[in-house]
Chains A and B, each alone.
Chain A
């Protein structure tokens, strides 16, 4: 049972490039989320999904897109990377109370 799997673990992008952070869970969880973690700010919600085909914006959605075509996968797309998007990104899933997190992706935009 792999839990929540994020790829890649590290990524360097140039300003203006696009990329997709992958997130997959094998626990059949309905709820999935993307957070970003910045120094001194804790984790902040980017986008979330309550089931396949349903997504909504969180606290800091600008510059990011998501889709949820299957229960298992919830990719996060950066449309045109900016230095302000340098951060550590976490994907999480949950069914009832507890959220399970992936190991994070450290993204640097230069």
Chain B
């Protein structure tokens, strides 16, 4: 069975600094997608970034980038130039390719941003 592990329940970063959130996953599939979702106190789930497993290039969205290590089954999120608005719970998620609708989530990392 596929699993997603986030080993950092809480992280803290100074404003304008860089922080990396860790995520590892386990799967025997070759076709899959990986995601990072942000959940602020408003409770809304917001997609931060996604990575297709077949793409070797790491995804980047403005200040957010990933380090996708397929062989190691690792998918970390780097937030550069951290801002107060980045404070939130971050979830790593996996979905197999094809018609499956099942997103498998990690347990989340609560990120605090210190001014």
Give A contacts to B, CB under 8 Å: 31-33, 35, 40-45, 48-50, 58-59, 88, 90, 92, 94, 97-101, 103-104, 106
Contacts and interface: CB of A to CB of B under 8 A. Distances in A.
Interface string B32-49: 010100000011110100
Nearest to B108: A42
B101 interface: yes
Q: On chain B, which size bracket covers the interface?
A: 20 to 34
A48 B115 CA distance: 41
26 contacts: A32-B101, A33-B102, A33-B103, A41-B107, A42-B4, A42-B91, A42-B106, A42-B108, A43-B91, A43-B93, A43-B103, A48-B101, A48-B102, A49-B101, A50-B99, A50-B101, A58-B102, A59-B102, A94-B101, A97-B33, A97-B50, A98-B50, A99-B35, A100-B47, A101-B44, A103-B43
Given A40-B107, A43-B103, A88 B50 contact: no
Given A33-B103, A43-B103, A45-B103, 16 more contacts: A33-B102, A40-B107, A42-B106, A42-B107, A42-B108, A43-B93, A43-B105, A48-B101, A50-B101, A90-B45, A97-B50, A98-B47, A99-B35, A99-B95, A103-B42, A103-B44
B19 to A, nearest CB: 20
A103 B42 CA distance: 8
Interface string B86-108: 00000101010001011101111
